[in-house]
Structure formats: structure tokens, C-alpha cells
Amino acid sequence: MNIVIADDYQDCVRHLDCFPKLKGHQVTVYNDTVNDLDQLVRRFAAADALVLIRERTRISAALLDRLPNLKLISQTGKISAHLDFAACQARGITVCEGGGTGSATAELTFLLMLASMRHFTSEVQRLKDGLWQGHLGRQLSGKTLGVLGFGRIGEQVCRVGQAFGARPLVWGSDNTQTKAAAHGFAVAADRAAFFEQCDILSIQLKLSAQTQGYVGAADLARMKPDALLVNTSRAGLIAPGALAQALKAGRPGFAAVDVYEEEPVLGAQHPLLALPNCLCTPHLGYVEKDNYEVFFGTAFDNINAFAAGRPQNVAR
């Protein structure tokens, strides 16, 4: 099969242990992202199968109309709003999916959390600049760790936070609250109390039509002036522009974000990057070798199964 792998920013897919699974196929890998429809058509026109790295490229009906050779989309992770699944079904294009553990994202969440609370990056820079200690940090132990959402990653954040001595406090849908309580975690009395009580708030919701812009300006204004907000989920969970304005107003006092409305962010062109009270990383949450081996290993297995006439992990 003619296979195209898009958006491999780090040119790492060819070097994964699982890449030889594609031996015998013709494989083209692109290391950048393009959004122009004509450019996407030129890249994908000859493809029998596309391997998508999460939501990095939007697959629309208009694009699919111009890809007559396409038979299979092998999605790393689960399909989301970036992929017009109904359009794939209408055109007879099989979509397969797979997933990782979520552990890599949970780990990065705590890296951002601890680095922010201990002023880690600025202290490292001070030492390189010939200076010594400059800030008094704060520990996680004893703090109220708010977790918005209680899926696979949200639960991990609660459990790891508990191991650090933090007090997890959960909020979300009725189902989220019931599930968290069943697992022994405290649930906030109401939405307002949740945002008011958090010393650290970790957003772990799945982005959907129902959760788009879930966190608004009024929620952020309720947070403590020394609170920290961490977002390793999706930027769209926060209302457009609300976080930057809230940080300027001082509630919350600090944020750490790994996700942005439009990615990749190049040329430092994002308002959060200009704020001294925001630690920004380039969507590293799931970008980790062990996780990639699972993501891509499954995606490549799905291609081989399809080529053998035995499709597996087909999205419904």
C-alpha cells in the first residue's frame, strides 16, 4: 500500500522500533503541517492509507472528495473533531483507531505543576546567569488539587497527587462526580466552590461540543490570586482569550499550558508566551517514545490487518 504519515514534527516515526512493521509498503513521511486544501491534496493524492498523529491535520469532506485513492485512515489515538467521520463512512473509507495509556500526559502534568510551583525554569536561568536563589517556591503537599474531569488521565492525576500529599478535589459532569466519589475522591459542593477552593487546577476534560469553552472568565475570576492552572488537555476547553486576560488580572496567579488553539505555534506567536506568569510547552503531553511505540505500533498493525483483508479496531 501507498502510505502517507503526516505531521511528524520531530522526524522520529522512522526511528521507532515498530516502524519495520511497514516493510513492504511504500511510505512517505512529512515533518511539517500544512493547512491549505490544495497542499494537502498534493501530499495525500496518491495515498491508499493515511496515518494521522492525533488531531494535527484536519480531514474534511472537501479534502476527502479529492482523494479518490484513499481507502484507510489509521488514527493514532481516538478519532475526534478533526476528522469528519461521517464523510469517511459515506465514501467507504475505513477508519481504524487505537490508544495509549495516558501516563505520559499525566506525568507531564506534574512536571508542569512542580516546575511552576518551584519556579524551576527561572531558577535554572538565574544560576546560568551567575546568580543564586531568587524565588521562594511552594510544595504540592497539603494543597487542594482540583481535577476537572475524571477520565483515565484525570484519575491518574488524582492518584499521583494524593501520593504527593495533595488533597484531590474533583468537578465535572454528574457522571464524573459519581465516578470520582465511587473511587474515594472528594467532589466539590458546586462549580463555584470548585474554582474558589483549588490551589492547583488541572484540566483533564475531553474536548467536545459540550465542553468547548467550558472554563469561562467568571470561573477563572473565582480562583485564588496564588492559584495555578494547568492545561494539558485541549486549549478549546477554555473560552477564547479568557486565560490570558485572567492571568493579566491576577486570578489565577500562574498557569502552565501545553496546548493551543492552533498548532504548531511558530515564531512565538501566541499571547500566553508573552506573559511572565505562564509556563508554556509545545504540546509534549503524549509525545514520548514508549507512548509512540504503542500509538504507532497499533496504527501500523491496523494497516497490515486491513491490507490482509482482516480489518481491526475499526471505528463505529
**Rounded to two decimals, what is the model's pTM?**
0.94
Confirm whether 2-100+289-307 and 103-280 share one CATH topology. yes
Residue 259, C-alpha cell as written in the block: 496546548
Question: 244 φ, ψ to 5°?
Answer: -60, -45
Q: Verify whether residue 234 is a known catalytic residue.
A: yes
Write the secondary structure of 243-302 as one string of H (helix), E (strand) and C (coil): HHHHHHHCCCCEEEECCCCCCCCCCCCCHHHHCCCEEECCCCCCCCHHHHHHHHHHHHHH
Q: Verify whether residue 118 is a known catalytic residue.
A: no
Please give the Cα distance from 197 to 148 (Å, whole number). Answer: 13
* Sequence spans of domains, the chain: 2-100+289-307, 103-280
CA-based max dimension of the chain: 64
With beta carbons less than 8 A apart as the criterion, state whether 46 and 69 touch: yes
Active-site pick, 263, 270, 310, 316? 263
**DSSP character at residue 309:** T
Please give the Cα distance from 191 to 310 (Å, whole number). Answer: 47
CATH topology of domain 2-100+289-307: Rossmann fold (3.40.50)
Q: Tens-of-pLDDT digits for all 316 residues of the chain? A: 999 999 999 999 999 999 999 999 999 999 999 999 999 999 999 999 999 999 999 999 999 999 999 999 999 999 988 999 999 999 999 999 987 778 999 999 999 999 999 999 999 999 999 999 999 999 999 999 999 999 999 999 999 999 999 999 999 999 999 999 999 999 999 999 999 999 999 999 999 999 999 999 999 999 999 999 999 999 999 999 999 999 999 999 999 999 999 999 999 999 999 999 999 999 999 999 999 999 999 999 999 999 999 999 999 9
Please give the Cα distance from 286 to 102 (Å, whole number). Answer: 7
pLDDT digits (tens, 9 = 90+) for 285-299: 999 999 999 999 999
Question: 146 φ, ψ to 5°?
Answer: -80, 135
Taking CB atoms within 8 Å and a gap of at least 24, the contacts of 135-138 are 138/226
Question: 205 φ, ψ to 5°?
Answer: -85, 155
Active-site pick, 54, 119, 270, 283? 283
Please give the Cα distance from 316 to 314 (Å, whole number). Answer: 6
Question: 257 φ, ψ to 5°?
Answer: -130, 145
Please give the Cα distance from 115 to 127 (Å, whole number). Answer: 16
Active-site pick, 54, 97, 119, 234? 234
With beta carbons less than 8 A apart as the criterion, state whether 31 and 8 touch: yes
Give the residue among 100, 122, 42 at the shortest CA–CA distance from 290: 100
User: 226-243 burial string, b = 16+ CB within 10 Å, else e?
Assistant: ebbbbbbbbbbbbbeebb
CATH code at 103-280: 3.40.50.720
Q: Verify whether residue 97 is a known catalytic residue.
A: no
Please give the Cα distance from 122 to 168 (Å, whole number). Answer: 28
Adjacent-strand bridge partners of 54: none
